[in-house]
Amino acid sequence: MKVLVIGSGGREHSIVAKLALSTEITALYAAPGNGGIADLATCVPIDVTAVDDLVHFAKEEQIDWTFVGPEIPLLAGVVNAFQQENLNVFGPTKEAALIEGSKDYAKSFMRVHAIPTAASETFSDAEKAKDYIAKKGAPIVVKADGLAAGKGVVVANTVEEANEAVESMLVDNQFGQAGSLVIIEDFLDGKEFSLMAFVNGKDVYPLVPARDHKRVYDNDQGPNTGGMGAYAPIPDLQQSVIDEAIERILKPAAAGLVKEDRSFTGVLYAGLIETTDGPKVIEFNARFGDPETQVILPLLENDLLQVMRDVTAGNNPQLTWKDAYATGTVIAASGYPGSYDKQLPIPDLSELPQDVYCIHAGTEKTAEGYVSNGGRILFIGSVHHNRTDAVESVKTGLTIFKSNPNFHYRTDIGFGK
Ligand code: AMP
Ligand code: GLY
């Protein structure tokens, strides 16, 4: 089997690393891939949105299966294009991926299908949005409708802050077309968790829950990022809450998409918050979470290629999980999530302890070694039966980046917060 993975981040490195364990795979390709992926797969320089070029490559190389990592190619219709050519592909069509592509659509979808989420209203007019904010008061949440690389959400502690967010989205067009509608949403208080499932139509096969850490600094301080680390499973999350999320959120979402003629195949991601009123949806994504995937896939015992084939064929993939705990921390470039330098030399990774794994998020391979080419550079993870051992191994791994002015990272991930 020849398999292609579309994408270039840590999530895709994890997917490639998992697929590389499949005995049926004879050749792995990534478009465009990264420095770490290049050690396991042939990287081809095709942009994730170059849909025609991706189709052309898959046909020329006679690729048997393609896995789509990020949301941008999904919303650009890469799955539709592959399906039109009868190429096997794992991921939702652009119609199904709209659950991630438009927060306005996702909110009205949840209202129609009675899926628990914060009350909200959508506006295209800044003055009307501000009137609504004045009526509601703070804290309140302002969200751009479209894709904004995780930066389109402002949790405003004051009415002024919320009004500023509205101005920047609707008047100053900070996010272009993606911010031409804003959603003003009630603030929900509680612990967050990510629950994903392999989905095909109404069939839902949940994964272990994971917790992402979006804020840049320890103790969840500072601005939001693409994610600074993650762990799975979540010791403080009760099984009854997970079950409720599956029954009241994931299953109705899958069934609702079928009803709306947007039947979903792929990984459906629910970003959830555990409120006193039960779990509620913060967002849906149409793909694996990043960096959650970097801790979930090492716990999955199944062959990922077989899972894709089973799920697509309508068979239960019979997921089984290691009785273990995975945690990992992102190494980011100094300055991230603000401006940062690229081409930073990466320390010698062979010095990492034996029991940690290293996923590349933003690197490229040069004759002199790996260098950075993004804000989030590496993910240092560990799997152990015992949580303390996993946390301690990562901590030891992080020492090779300690006091290096090129990098920064959180030191509190995996402790159950
Ligand atoms: P999102 O990009 O939709 O995942 O939102 C980014 C972050 O904003 C989330 O991880 C939450 O921490 C926060 N957030 C989003 N919506 C709400 C809400 N309604 N109440 C409280 N926090 C929220
Ligand atoms: N970890 C959040 C996301 O993948 O969107």
Q: Where in the chain is the domain with CATH 3.30.470.20?
A: 191-313
Q: Where in the chain is the domain with CATH 3.30.1490.20?
A: 120-186
Q: What is the tens place of the pLDDT at every residue in 285-314?
A: 999 999 999 999 999 999 999 999 999 999
For residue 283 and ligand 2, the question of a CB distance below 6 A is answered with no
Compute the distance between CA of residue 7 and CA of residue 71 in angstroms, rounded to an integer: 10
Decide if 176 contacts 151 (C-beta within 8 A).
no
Compute the distance between CA of residue 311 and CA of residue 297 in angstroms, rounded to an integer: 16
Q: What is the tens place of the pLDDT at every residue in 201-257?
A: 999 999 999 999 999 999 989 888 889 999 999 999 999 999 999 999 999 999 999
The token pair that represents 64 in the structure block = 């048997």
Q: What is the tens place of the pLDDT at every residue in 148-179?
A: 876 788 999 999 999 999 988 887 888 877 77
Q: Where in the chain is the domain with CATH 3.90.600.10?
A: 325-408
For residue 154, give the H/E element and its range: strand 153-156
DSSP 8-state class, residue 202: T
The token pair that represents 405 in the structure block = 């002015």
**CATH class assigned to 325-408:** alpha beta
Report the CATH fold assignment for 2-93: Rossmann fold (3.40.50)
Compute the distance between CA of residue 95 and CA of residue 10 in angstroms, rounded to an integer: 26
Closest CA to 298 of 24, 13, 2, 6: 13
Give percent above pLDDT 70 in the chain. Answer: 99
Compute the distance between CA of residue 99 and CA of residue 159 in angstroms, rounded to an integer: 28
* Closest ligand (CA of 106): 1
Judged on CB neighbours under 10 Å (0-12, 13-18, 19+), 144 is buried
* Closest ligand (CA of 214): 1
CATH number for the domain formed by residue range(s) 191-313: 3.30.470.20
Long-range contacts at 151-159 (CB < 8 A, ≥ 24 apart): 151/175, 151/224, 152/178, 152/179, 153/224, 155/187, 159/133, 159/134
Amino acid at 107: K
Q: Which residue owns the Cα nearest ligand 2 atom 4?
A: 289
**Whole-number pLDDT of residue 213:** 94
Compute the distance between CA of residue 32 and CA of residue 54 in angstroms, rounded to an integer: 10
Query: Model's pTM, two decimal places?
Result: 0.95
CATH number for the domain formed by residue range(s) 120-186: 3.30.1490.20
338 pLDDT more than 70: yes
Backbone CA torsion sign across 40, 46, 51, 56: negative
Atom of ligand 1 nearest to the CA of 212: 10
Atom of ligand 2 nearest to the CA of 291: 1
For residue 283 and ligand 1, the question of a CB distance below 6 A is answered with yes
Q: Where in the chain is the domain with CATH 3.40.50.20?
A: 2-93
Closest CA to 314 of 163, 199, 180, 408: 199
